[in-house]
Structure 1
Amino acid sequence: MTQQEDDNNHSNEINSPQMEETKTDIQINEEKEEKIEEEEKKKIEKPQTRKDREEYQKQSFMALKRTLNGLVNKVSLSNIKTIIVELFKENLVRGKGLFVNSVIRAQDAEPNFSNIYATLVAVINTKIPAIGELTIHRIIHQFNLTVKREEEEGSLRKLQFIAQLTNQQVCSVTLPLQILIQLMKSPTDENIEKVVTLLLNVGEYFDSIIKGKVQPIYEQLRGIVSRKKASERICFKINQLLNERRNGFINYPSVIEELDLIEDEDKITHTIDLTTPLNTMDELNIFNFDEEFEQNERKWEFKKAEIIGEESEEEEEDNQIQEQQKTKEQTEIEKFDDQTGAEEIFLKKKIYITIMSCYNFEECVHKLLSLKLREGEEKILVEMVIECCSQEKTYKKYYGLASERLCVLYVLYKNLFIDQFKIQYQTIHLKDMNQIRNIAMLYSYLFYSNAIPWELFSIIKLTDDDTTSSSRVFLKIMFQNLFEEMGMKEFKEKLFSNELQESIRGMFPTEDKEHIIFAFNFFKGIGLVELAKPLQQNYLALKEKIKKETD
């Protein structure tokens, strides 16, 4: 074979169909890669034409939707602070419809985490109030739909969310109160179950601010149970609610400590009720082209920098305060040997930390009794329980239950609480209104539970000279709470029982006309007219007696 033939054969091999196919596959792959790279570049590059701009905005909108859904679905008690910061990094003004939609869907799927989702909305509401308002509008709309479709489980889930939004003060108390009144107009089993669900979740908050307004609803529920106007299942649920209320909703707190993330002055409450025209803004759930997209994005960047900057400053301040407290505590502990009365201060601090760190009253009592107290230090313990109770923003049943347990377990503590009642009543004029209310609520529970004897009323004399405005407020709150807990019939029977006749003589005078009139006006003024009636009889009897003596 010649050299020329070899070259020809070699040329034929290179240009064979098989090699041509291989070459074509490689080229196709390269072209695909080039196209993908070009598409990626187009995404990164700023779009020029309207069509490109619209596509870019649509992709941005879909990415925002996925991010918000992911963050909302990931939120939990342990990571809520982190999730809030991540949410503020996204454009919540443009995505407010998407965010609200995600929250409502997540809550509907996991109603037991309603308090977490409500907290999420509440924190964002402090910076972007439109989100809180839109959430309420949509949840009312969905609640109305579930009622119309007779979807009972769906209605209960929506009511849980409304209750938690009320607890976080995103929604005013008007809305849940209106729902309760509306449902009780037609007390069917289904409506009563809705009422019980709503009150279980918002009951503690209601009792702290509008107790008088919800009291008739509780009375109506008691009547339903006593007259057996509902099924056995519903009666059981009503009794469960009433028991929870007696225990201060200890299993259904309005806001747990981990979710108490907002200062009172930062909260924004929306007054929306059943008569408010609803605007659910459903158009925000779908993509809409924005002619001023870039300008609005820049506005959000400024807003985001402002919000995240505030969050960082607050965190730094919190850390500084915590470090200062730790340093202060260490310094006090180191120096307490050199200070007068330092041992008592150290003991009070130890008792305070024990009370405030316990999960429930049973744990609290157990830990308090485990403290190695010397003789006479039990008095300090009782004083600290009352002091901690008085310093709370609103009364917590936790203190009443712990105090009752101490009184029941040891006579020593019972006697100390009795002594403290006398001291607190005599010095009540030195307390502010919040302290008066909390101490009155604490002792009304101790009387109600018979942890301390009712004979203590012997120290009370209802006269103009023996009372002050503060002591009258104290007695008013205590008696009104006893009436609400016991009902008028039981309260009256207990108060006017034979064994208490001597003890209540100061509150129900019989010998002095002016004293009788003063006591009568007091009980009538605080709404306990039934207690004023015996005084009216005393007045008439005294008048008749004076008339006979004159004749």
Structure 2
Amino acid sequence: MSKSKRTRVYSPSPSSRHRSPSESSTCTQSCKRLRRTSISPPPQATSTKLAQADGLYKSPTKLRLEQASLRDSSTIEYQQIAWENLKKNINRLINKVNRSNIPLITKELFQYNIIRGRGLLAHRIIEEQIASPFYTSVYAALVAVINSKIPQIGELIVKRLISSFHQSYQQNDKTNCLKTTRFIIHLIHQNVLLDTLPIEILVYLLKNPSDDSVELAIEVIKECGQKISEFCPRMLDSFFSKLRNLLHESSLHERTRNMIEALFAIRMNQFKADRLIPSDLDLVDEQRSQRIGLIDPCDPESMLDIFQYDEQYDENENKYKQIRKTILGESTGDEDESSSSSSNSDDENQQSIIDATVANLGTFFRIMFLTLRLNKGAEKCARKLLQKNTRPGAEIGVCRIILDLCAKKRRYRPFFGFLAQRLCLLKTEYVGCFEKAFQNQYEIAHHLESVKLKNLSNFFGYMLATNSISWSVLRCIRLTEDNTTSSSRAFIKNLFLKLVKFLGLSKLINRFTDPTLTEYFQDLFPRDDPKNTQFSIKFFEAIGLDGLTNGLREFLRRNPTPTPPILSALSIKEKEDEDDHENQGHIEALRRELQMQQQNKQDKKDKKNSHRMVQLK
């Protein structure tokens, strides 16, 4: 039964059953011609083929071969192949990004003209964040690094996020709106956006409250409540007052009311659950914040996502090469791009140190910066800094850059202390450089900001605690009211608190009472004047380290009278001569006065005796 059915299905049509042999042969030949025609279509213009192949996959090898066959960059075929290659490279790198390789990914991204492909880059980052909201902090850190170098791309990403927020909110798409809001909040934490944007979002969400808008507002307050409470606490109070009123309204769902109550509990704990930027994602020191508000017109510029012919293609490519050299610190010249080993030379430039002369200081700083960025381990980084011989004097440049990077961080990072300690162990020249740097930084303490001052004092506190530098550097500190400022006293305070943290108070006291080191601490614990001694005692009492001043207290108890100041030998001799002369004159005057008093007494006595004699007679 089944066999007959199959025969019936695949049997020839009625019209072909009764064909003659010649007709059937003609039909067979025509079918073959049709098959050949369908397999090999008629040739078309190259531009038409490339235009049709815009959305089709081509392997990178095939794209390179096609681009190699085209020499003229002014043709649409060449530019379209370059566009496809740029798109694939951007997608490939964004797919590879994670918490540990952001510096590497950004460096490789800058190798391509991401200004031309900024639409592709922005679209891919936002698309990946929506697909993987768990990695929002990673994508925000990536955007922060890109925005610090090319703010034009950061501005486009921010505009698209704000536009997407409005679109999702108007369409009641709660899921995408929540993801977009979370991305915006993380960009605020990275200082890509201003701190006032969360207030604008909260005002917008609570203007016409609903279950979804209140839930979004709660998410914003959870993430940014700490920041809002610092610069605008009154606005935060008004938001909580609005939520308190909504809490008693029956229009809200019970789940939403429970979320509001949980938010009040978080506020009672002073937003301790507020997420700070993890240290491995805090990659930017000087950020360029985008001044874009929620109600500002935000054109997403969707046309940047598709290919557009550029009449000035070569000129724009050369401009981007100059921008890339500025960002990455590449050497000027064409040999970096003409040789096939350019990628290897770039890797070597990241790991090597060149002469730290004034002419090359900018390039030296950028290469050092990349070396410190790409090596998270202190030992590995120190080994790469020392793996090539440097000219004499380069060590002081390395020290300055390490201190500069350490000072610019938002908080002190132990990595820089570990790195400096390792450098001092591997090469003794660094010990003297860091000792000179300590004196220089203390002398300019009044020019430093509070954060930089604290970071540097913590850095040198670690160096002293580990004996990486000599304790003799402390003799540059004279702790008196006249010789210190508020900034220098803050430097000393943070330095000693760091020493106590590493050594403990008992070990620190033993260190300062060591007879071999006391000569370095004479000005730190002055005994030349009771006023200075009292000032030093009160200073250490104020920072909670009065145990260091036991020797000064004993000195004051034994010497209650003021101690004369220490003078030079010439001053002492002149002072002695002057004192002798003054004393001699004073003695002569006293002698004459005493003689006159005795003479007067004798005269009075003689007169009295004569008067008695007269009476007796």
TM-score between both structures, scaled by the size of structure 2: 0.47
CA apart distance, 1:49: 8.4
Q: Provide, for residues 501-549 of structure 1, a one-character-per-residue CA deviation record: whole Å limited to 9, x for no partner.
A: xxxxxxxxxxxxxxxxxxxxxxxxxxxxxxxxxxxxxxxxxxxxxxxxx
Match of 1:399 in 2: none
Q: Provide, for residues 147-175 of structure 1, a one-character-per-residue CA deviation record: whole Å limited to 9, x for no partner.
A: 12111111111110111111112112333
Structure number with bigger Rg: 2
Aligned residue runs from structure 1 range 16-415, under 5 A = 42-48=66-72, 53-225=75-247, 230-263=252-285, 266-309=286-329, 311-316=366-371, 320=398, 321=402, 322=416, 323-326=419-422, 327=424, 329=462, 332-334=465-467, 348-349=497-498, 352=501
CA apart distance, 1:46: 4.7
CA apart distance, 1:191: 0.9
CA apart distance, 1:146: 0.9
- Structure 2 counterpart of 1:121, one-letter code: V
Kept after mapping to 2: 8 A contact 1:244/1:250: yes
Aligned partners of 1:177, 1:242: CA distance in 2, in Å? 18
CA apart distance, 1:103: 0.8
Kept after mapping to 1: 8 A contact 2:129/2:136: yes
- Structure 2 counterpart of 1:303, one-letter code: I
Unaligned 5+ runs, structure 2: 1-58, 330-362, 374-380, 382-397, 403-415, 425-430, 432-461, 475-492, 510-537, 544-617
Structure 1's 176 and 331: CA in aligned 2 closer, same or farther, altered over 3 A?
Answer: closer
- Structure 2 counterpart of 1:302, one-letter code: Q
CA apart distance, 1:193: 0.2
Aligned partners of 2:314, 2:191: CA distance in 1, in Å? 35
How many pairs align? Answer: 325
Aligned partners of 1:161, 1:85: CA distance in 2, in Å? 23
Kept after mapping to 1: 8 A contact 2:161/2:180: yes
Aligned residue for 1:64, secondary structure, equals helix
Q: Provide, for residues 127-153 of structure 1, a one-character-per-residue CA deviation record: whole Å limited to 9, x for no partner.
A: 111111111111111111111211111
Kept after mapping to 1: 8 A contact 2:500/2:508: no
Match of 1:436 in 2: none
- Structure 2 counterpart of 1:104, one-letter code: I
Aligned residue for 1:101, secondary structure, equals helix
Structure 1's 294 and 338: CA in aligned 2 closer, same or farther, altered over 3 A?
Answer: closer
Aligned partners of 2:85, 2:63: CA distance in 1, in Å? 17
CA apart distance, 1:332: 4.4
**Higher share in helix:** 1
CA apart distance, 1:94: 0.5
Aligned partners of 1:270, 1:38: CA distance in 2, in Å? 40
Match of 1:529 in 2: none
How well do the aligned residues superpose, as a CA RMSD in angstroms? 3.8
Kept after mapping to 1: 8 A contact 2:63/2:85: no
Aligned residue for 2:466, secondary structure, equals helix
Kept after mapping to 2: 8 A contact 1:228/1:235: no
Match of 1:522 in 2: none
Q: Provide, for residues 461-503 of structure 1, a one-character-per-residue CA deviation record: whole Å limited to 9, x for no partner.
A: xxxxxxxxxxxxxxxxxxxxxxxxxxxxxxxxxxxxxxxxxxx
Aligned partners of 1:131, 1:252: CA distance in 2, in Å? 28
Unaligned 5+ runs, structure 1: 1-35, 354-370, 378-422, 429-551
Aligned residue for 1:158, secondary structure, equals helix
Kept after mapping to 2: 8 A contact 1:204/1:254: no
Match of 2:48 in 1: none
Structure 1's 124 and 40: CA in aligned 2 closer, same or farther, altered over 3 A?
Answer: closer
Aligned residue for 1:197, secondary structure, equals helix
TM-score between both structures, scaled by the size of structure 1: 0.52
Aligned partners of 1:181, 1:195: CA distance in 2, in Å? 9
Q: Which stretch has the larger CA shift, 216-225 or 310-319?
A: 310-319
Aligned partners of 1:91, 1:284: CA distance in 2, in Å? 13
Structure 1's 46 and 104: CA in aligned 2 closer, same or farther, altered over 3 A?
Answer: same
Aligned partners of 2:501, 2:279: CA distance in 1, in Å? 17
Aligned partners of 1:268, 1:338: CA distance in 2, in Å? 41
Aligned partners of 1:345, 1:170: CA distance in 2, in Å? 31
CA apart distance, 1:235: 2.2
Kept after mapping to 1: 8 A contact 2:464/2:470: no
CA apart distance, 1:267: 1.2
Q: Which stretch has the larger CA shift, 242-251 or 164-173?
A: 242-251
Structure 1's 333 and 220: CA in aligned 2 closer, same or farther, altered over 3 A?
Answer: same
Kept after mapping to 2: 8 A contact 1:202/1:254: no
> Greater relative contact order (Cα 8 A, min sep 6): structure 1 or 2?
1
Q: Provide, for residues 206-256 of structure 1, a one-character-per-residue CA deviation record: whole Å limited to 9, x for no partner.
A: 223333322210232234336666322112222333333333434332422
Structure 1's 66 and 251: CA in aligned 2 closer, same or farther, altered over 3 A?
Answer: farther
CA apart distance, 1:269: 1.2
Kept after mapping to 2: 8 A contact 1:163/1:198: yes
Aligned partners of 1:49, 1:267: CA distance in 2, in Å? 36
Structure 1's 171 and 346: CA in aligned 2 closer, same or farther, altered over 3 A?
Answer: closer
Aligned residue for 1:244, secondary structure, equals helix
Aligned partners of 1:65, 1:137: CA distance in 2, in Å? 21
Structure 1's 312 and 201: CA in aligned 2 closer, same or farther, altered over 3 A?
Answer: farther
Kept after mapping to 1: 8 A contact 2:211/2:252: yes
Aligned partners of 1:228, 1:339: CA distance in 2, in Å? 72
Aligned partners of 1:286, 1:145: CA distance in 2, in Å? 22
Structure 1's 252 and 80: CA in aligned 2 closer, same or farther, altered over 3 A?
Answer: farther
